[in-house]
Amino acid sequence: MVKRRASVSGFVPDLSTSPSTCSTEKPMSLYQPLAGVKVLDLTAVIMGPFGTQILADMGAEVTVVETPVGDANRHMGKGPHPDVSGVTLNLMRNKRSIVLDLRSDEGRAIFEKLVAESDVFVTNLRPGSRERARVTPDDLRPLRPDLVWVAAAGYDPSSSDADAAAYDDIIQAATGFVDTNERSGLPPVMAPILIADKVSGMALTQAVLAGLFHRERTGEGTDTVLAMYDMMRAFLLVEHGAEAIPEPQLSRAGYPRLLSAERRPLRTSDGGLVAILAYERHHFEGLIRIGGRLEMLEDERFVSRLGRLNNIDELYREYQRIAETHTTQEFVDACAAAGVPVHEVVTLDDVTNSLPMTDHPRLGRYRMTPSLAPGVPVDAEPRRFAPVLGENGREVLSELGYSDEEIDELENSGVVGRYRS
């Protein structure tokens, strides 16, 4: 492993031995802006749960309503419990889980009591499913007039695709993301991350925060529908709209530097891979001086930023020629000294193993992913550890005023799922 310099951009600290405790009361941060805000979460898989994870990390009390089989993220690979995958350990932190049969009259009554007690309701059911489940704004507004209601769906509710199923792969294909890979010389493949889900999940968080702020100002609730298709187009076309945004278009869509087939990590003389970004003129000059190619500093093709952009393939090839005359450590050190943003390529395993560890009180030791909530330290423990499916059902029902005997009856009848440790 190459030794990292403190001045190297993107330094990944080793936090694997950070001290931690098993306390479920330790706050993730002294800054908990959503403390006291109750969120009722009827979302599934990644998009919705990712958004509500951020809300939960901000201090919101998130109660997840699940089916008897549980959210799909509970079964995305192996984990320490049949209903808790490695994904779930972080995605469900700071949340409570209750299993409800919403088709039954008793289950519906419990759900309506939860709505009446909630500040926020979020769902990623499709429009038709929302109507059948009776969770539209018209259904829930009488229960809580100032409810912040947010739905995430695949497409705009006014479009012909409004009720079409939309998953990450579908949205990547529909928004031009797959085409960017083919344009850059790759096969027409999907990104190996759930990028559309997570971009939309962050937008969901923003919609909730905006709704809460509006309610604080006006006392009114809000109804918001987010379309994954639109969120991903907004995300992608910031740079890739480029010269195709003006009318008439100046060229086809796509930002040339990002679509260059030569844009890849540089291979060094000892076989290492290093990423650099010579974005500014002084970055370019620094790299050229490292390679001793001073004549390129006066080459008209590379004098201006636009010139470098228009000749980006040749420039990337030159950077590769420079890198392959140095070892990985030599090249990283030289770039850092010249002020060129640089980092050697690390593996997914390396990054995962750099995460801080903690102990789930029932499920054992695991690695904590960083929070997207502001002010949360990387090694901060959850207020609540990820629940097993239905783990908090009795707690939630007790808070609604149900007696132990009534809860037993609801569990025995299958209206409420029984927690299995």
Cα 97 → chain centroid: 21
> How many residues are given for the chain?
421
**Dihedral pair phi/psi, residue 321, rounded to 5°:** -65, -35
For 266-344, give the CATH class.
alpha beta
CA distance 399 to 397: 5
CATH superfamily of 38-239+359-412: Crotonobetainyl-coa:carnitine coa-transferase; domain 1 (3.40.50.10540)
Closest by CA position to 209, among listed 384, 58, 92, 96: 58
Q: Tell me what percent of the residues of the chain surpass a pLDDT of 70.
A: 93
- pLDDT at residue 189 greater than cutoff 90: yes
Do 381 and 21 touch, CB atoms closer than 8 A? yes
Task: Kindly indicate the confidence band of residue 16, based on its pLDDT and cuts at 50, 70 and 90.
Answer: very low
Helix (H, G, I), strand (E, B) or coil at 139: helix
Here the tokens at position 213 are 């702020």
Claim: this prediction has a pTM higher than 0.75: yes
User: Strand locations in 34-140, DSSP E?
Assistant: 38-42, 61-66, 95-99, 120-123
Q: For residues 340 and 276, is the Cβ–Cβ distance under 8 A?
A: yes
Structure-block tokens of residue 244 = 């195709």
Least confident of 4-13, 18-27, 386-395: 4-13
Give residue 25's pLDDT: 45
The per-residue pLDDT for range 275-311, each reduced to its tens digit, is 999 989 999 999 999 999 999 999 999 999 999 999 9
The domain spans of the chain are 38-239+359-412, 266-344
Digit-coded pLDDT (tens) for 339-377: 999 999 999 999 999 999 999 999 999 999 999 999 898
R_g of the chain, CA atoms, integer Å: 25
Alpha-carbon gap, residue 256 to 383, rounded angstroms: 45
- pLDDT for the residue numbered 27: 53
Give the pLDDT confidence of 293-302 residue by residue, as tens digits. 999 999 999 9
